[in-house]
Amino acid sequence: MVTADQLDLTMDFDSLKKAGTGLGSAGMIVVDDATCMVAKTLHFSNFFKNESCGQCPPCRMGTNNLAILMTKIESGQGTQKDLDSMLQLCGFVKGTGYCTLVTGASVLVQSSLKLFRHEYEDHIRLQRCPYQDTPAGIVTHS
């Protein structure tokens, strides 16, 4: 993941590596600032979970547990301990699968937490997604 201030980043290996990211499968998705990055990361975490073939335990359990923790946070049931557990899990599983799927899942979560930690903390503090409509129908952004 990259933020808006990196939109002019050169799309080559060295530039992306220096910025702390990479091409991955070379696909790009651009989202606006009204997008909940916790919900977006949950969406991708569920993709990785569903794409796991289940042959290796780090991937089978890692992608599933990351999706469970992401769901907990997005639904407003998460805690600070869950954020710590996600980062710890990412460290455990990164680079341990038969393929790179679990590494992709862990890099995604680590990157999201690094760049958008305030959104995760808002979900925990408010016990809901801060991007949800309020009773008055106004969308709040923190």
Q: Does some domain include residue 8?
A: no
Note the pTM of the prediction, 2 decimals. 0.82
Contact 52, 102 (CB under 8 A): yes
Angstrom distance (rounded) from CA 46 to CA 62? 12
Q: Does some domain include residue 16?
A: no
Average pLDDT over residues 31-55: 92
Q: Does some domain include residue 139?
A: no
Q: Does some domain include residue 47?
A: yes
The pLDDT value recorded for residue 125 is 96
The pLDDT value recorded for residue 134 is 47
Contact 37, 112 (CB under 8 A): yes
Amino acid at 45: S
Q: Does some domain include residue 9?
A: no
Q: How far is CA 127 from the centre of its chain?
A: 18
Query: Does the pLDDT value for residue 140 go beyond 60?
Result: no
**Helix ranges restricted to H, the chain:** 13-18, 37-51, 57-74, 80-93, 101-126
Which domain range does residue 55 map to?
Answer: 35-126
Tens-place pLDDT, residues 65-120: 999 999 999 999 999 999 999 999 999 999 999 999 999 999 999 999 999 999 99
What values do phi and psi take at 25, rounded to 5? -90, 5
Q: Does some domain include residue 108?
A: yes
Q: What angle do CA 105, 67, 104 make, to 5 degrees?
A: 5
Q: Does some domain include residue 60?
A: yes
Total count of domains within the chain: 1
Q: Does some domain include residue 19?
A: no
Across the chain, what does the average pLDDT equal?
A: 87
Q: Which residue has the higher pLDDT, 79 or 15?
A: 79
Q: Which residue has the higher pLDDT, 13 or 44?
A: 44
Q: How many residues does the chain have?
A: 142
Q: What CATH number is associated with residue 79?
A: 1.20.1440.230
Contact 123, 76 (CB under 8 A): yes
